[in-house]
Amino acid sequence: MMQRVVIRNLRSDRKVKPRVFDALVEDNVISFEIKNGKNNEVIPLTDVLEQIEKAKETTEP
C-alpha cells in the first residue's frame, strides 16, 4: 500500500506552512512527487541523493 506524506517548509514564517512536495512510500521505496501546475513529476529519492552527492563533490575544495 502506498503512503503519501505531505512535506512542508517548517521554517516558513507563514501561519500555514507551505507544501513543497509529497513523499510517496511504497514497499520501502521512497519517491518525491512535485506538482508543476497541471503536471506531476515523480522522482525517486535515490536519484535526488545521487545528484546531491555529485553536487557536493564538485563544490568541495
Residue 37's pLDDT is 86
Q: Over 80: is that where the pLDDT of 9 sits?
A: yes
* CA distances for 33 relative to 24, 28, 53, 60, angstroms: 7, 16, 20, 29
DSSP-derived 3-state class of residue 33:
strand
* pTM greater than 0.85 (yes/no): no
- What pLDDT score does 29 carry? 95
Task: Give the pLDDT confidence of 45-57 residue by residue, as tens digits.
Answer: 999 999 999 999 9
Q: pLDDT tens digit string along 18-39?
A: 999 999 999 999 999 998 888 9
